Chain A
């Protein structure tokens, strides 16, 4: 996974898409992140990240149904691709490896 390093926000978006499994589109992703992480997410930031992840091949999208509140516009559902899964798995493993080798002393701060 040297080629496409994943940023912090990208990681969050990828994971959230995974969490929402099957119901991940713009609004739900935004709300999910906001409620879980207690941080504000702008449509702009989210949309750019989604498109970027898609162009990196970590996400794929599919048009779904519409609802009256969307002015007849279709929802765009995102799902994680195999590559995406590998990418977050890779992150998780590297993090775990790092955590594993962390001496207990360091964490004794609190």
Chain B
């Protein structure tokens, strides 16, 4: 008997896969017969090939089975059943349901709020239509072997840059941070409004929409002014009414009438630059002057299409050197909309900024969500013994594993959908509060994409929370699941314990973070800065006050409640730097000194302590004089500072006194060398120190005095400590937000622990009963029950403390002056964590321990 050739298996297997079952046997028969014949006529290999080809050619609609995989299952009914089971389970295990619902919905609400905030932060300044080609010229200023980066450029730069072939449009302007309050007079009406100077193509470059006027024309004439819609409404009662009208503006002693040539839509809240009117840049150049050495303007650039930023930046590096030989400035371009998030530079290198907070809160959002999801996983797996019966019975009657997994997933997705509904309501409710903390005008998103992403996130959260319990619960064999003691194993406890440890490690880290942040902020705000910022008010020097300074100061000192008064030219919290300063015995040349341009009595008004020499005084000759701080004396290496001569911009000045170092900047920076310079010519701000105690009365008196002295001007003052607070605005917001979110995270963790404790004690109620019958004491049982959790929390503490120490230390390096990271900070976080967990489980354990054994044992 000849060996029967065996046909290749694969084509036939393939055929079986796709062929209609009722056709399969005879087609296979035909194929085999053909194969047999071909083997004898054409050989084996050919026959196999033909077989394969035939099978492939059988892949056609008439032969293939219709792709109904589970024709017998009715999906709608199964879905209905699963939903029903989900709701029954919620009803049956109410406490677990509520813990999950509250946990998930708070978490989702927090995440939603954080996401809205992040989205808003990411979209700041992005609304300009030309955003992708819009750049700001930045300068790296090298001083004291240190590079300071800021946006100041010479007012001559815009014109010079237009010559570069890569530039489509270059527009000059004044720094938006400098946006100052002008006095406006229109039709006899007086008001104050924020204004700035901008180049004539400003409205081409930026998408501030002009309601009236054309972008090319509105700023062409140096005597034109373009105002915002709300200012037009305020001054003229309408937008079209304003056009062509005359508006008189005044700032300090400078001012002139201008013609309104256009009205623009108020800048949206997503714009960092907020202003109410703009004046032509040409005017600014005329008033302030334009020199290559003085960076008194900013420059915006629109690059041509397909121009590489690197190429332009490469050309700009030594651009300034072509204008000023020994310039210490190196220019570069930065995308305009990136300035907001990436605003910190260290030695000329981009070093984060607001983006750090965006990242921080993204992480917090993720943590909160993880903690809530862990709760769900824990409570579901803890209920394993109860669910096991259900799974067992279902498996016995033929349920597939995939069906059961689907059922559990549906249950968790239903829960997360419910939680999302609650979360959205919660977020809507909390949004006003949230806006107040963040200082933003956020709204719940209502567009389709956001809705869709929320829906996707909801389902993803549900799936994430449900997948582990679903897989874990359905893995059991029905026999073991249904055995009477089958459920006593209670599931993989290490997973559950691990998750609790993880949750608590996160929570304790957050406690430490909140403690460190709040301590540091308290430290900043109460640290003695070397001067007294309490009861100091500031207001603009204008009107008659700008004309007769000495009279004004003399009269204001007579107002009851006023201790002393002076004027200053610079912003107290950000004094300008000076390099052109020489003294006898000078060694290094490029030291930058901060310069306070002040008048008599200023040092006294701020309460800066004098340690040598004298302060500025009217009693002495009015020669050019300065007062140094200790750091300046040290830097200059002066042995006998008093009476020593120095040269400021080539002019002689005499050092008359030395003050103790004081923190004039934010505590992010160390104290540098500085001096007070007696010069009141351009003083713009009046500084008044009030008596403490009857502040309110003094302010009222001052206001009536001001009205009398300076008619037509409003007494618009601010407190110095408010300004000071603003230095730490970002930190304060972050501190408040992180406090809230950390609390939420901790509360959610505790909810989970509470649920778990309730469950374990309930499961061990019989054991407790027996123990009590055998003579165990209430304390003994309480100890026994809380031991398990205590160990978990202790492990969490051990993990989280080193991590939080590293995190806290790296955050504090942002500050030049920071609190010590003392051990008790961590100890109290640890104790707080432990105490919170005990409080959470305490009620449960004590209740269980005190229960009467008769109640729990009588069923047996």
Residues of A within 8 A of B (CB): 25-27, 30, 42-45, 47-48, 51-52, 63, 66-71, 73-76
Contacts and interface: CB of A to CB of B under 8 A. Distances in A.
Interface centre among B29, B32, B54 (most CB of A within 10 A): B29
B27 A66 contact: no
B36 interface: yes
B48 to A, nearest CB: 14
Contacts of A75: 26, 29
A51 B58 CA distance: 12
B31 interface: yes
Contact of B32 (A45, A51, A73): A73
Contact of A42 (B36, B54, B61): B54
A43 B62 CA distance: 12
Contact of B33 (A45, A52, A70): A70
- Nearest 5 interchain pairs by C-beta: A73-B29, A26-B30, A44-B57, A48-B62, A76-B26
A27 B50 CA distance: 14
Given A27-B34, A44-B54, A71 B26 contact: no
A32 to B, nearest CB: 14
Contact of B29 (A44, A51, A74): A74
Interface of A is mostly: helix
29 contacts: A25-B30, A26-B33, A27-B30, A42-B53, A42-B57, A43-B27, A43-B30, A43-B31, A43-B57, A44-B56, A44-B58, A44-B59, A44-B63, A45-B57, A47-B58, A47-B62, A48-B62, A66-B29, A69-B32, A69-B33, A70-B29, A70-B33, A71-B28, A71-B32, A73-B26, A73-B28, A73-B32, A74-B26, A75-B29
Nearest to A45: B57
Given A42-B57, A67-B33, A70-B33, A47 B28 contact: no
Contacts of A43: 27, 30-31, 34, 54, 57-58
B29 to A, nearest CB: 3
A76 B29 CA distance: 9
B712 interface: no
Given A47-B23, A71-B28, A75-B26, A27 B63 contact: no
Contacts of B31: 43
Contacts of B30: 25-27, 30, 43, 47, 70
Contact of B60 (A44, A69, A73): A44
Contact of A74 (B25, B34, B56, B63): B25
Contact of A47 (B4, B25, B27, B33): B27
A27 B62 contact: no
Contacts of A74: 25-26, 29
A60 to B, nearest CB: 14
Interface string B1-40: 0001000000000000000000101111111111011000
B27 A63 contact: no
A26 B25 CA distance: 12
A30 B57 CA distance: 14
Nearest to B61: A48
A81 B37 CA distance: 30
A28 B147 CA distance: 93
Contacts of A73: 25-26, 28-29, 32
A97 B32 CA distance: 44
Interface centre among B30, B34, B60, B61 (most CB of A within 10 A): B30
Given A47-B30, A71-B28, 13 more contacts: A25-B30, A26-B26, A26-B27, A27-B33, A42-B57, A43-B30, A43-B58, A44-B54, A51-B23, A51-B62, A73-B29, A74-B29, A76-B29
Contacts of B34: 27, 30, 43
Contacts of A66: 29
Interface string B432-459: 0000000000000000000000000000
Given A27-B34, A69-B36, A47 B29 contact: no
Nearest to A55: B62
Contacts of B58: 43-44, 47
A28 to B, nearest CB: 10
Contacts of A25: 26, 30
A42 B55 CA distance: 9
B364 to A, nearest CB: 62
A16 B774 CA distance: 94
Contacts of B32: 69-71, 73
A77 to B, nearest CB: 10
B104 to A, nearest CB: 55
A41 B31 CA distance: 13
A108 B66 CA distance: 52
Nearest to B56: A44
Contacts of A70: 29-30, 32-33
Nearest to B39: A69
Contacts of A44: 54, 56-60, 63
Contacts of A42: 53-54, 57
Contacts of B62: 47-48, 51-52
Contacts of B25: 73-74
A70 to B, nearest CB: 4
A66 B61 CA distance: 27
A49 B271 CA distance: 71
A48 B470 CA distance: 45
Interface string B226-243: 000000000000000000
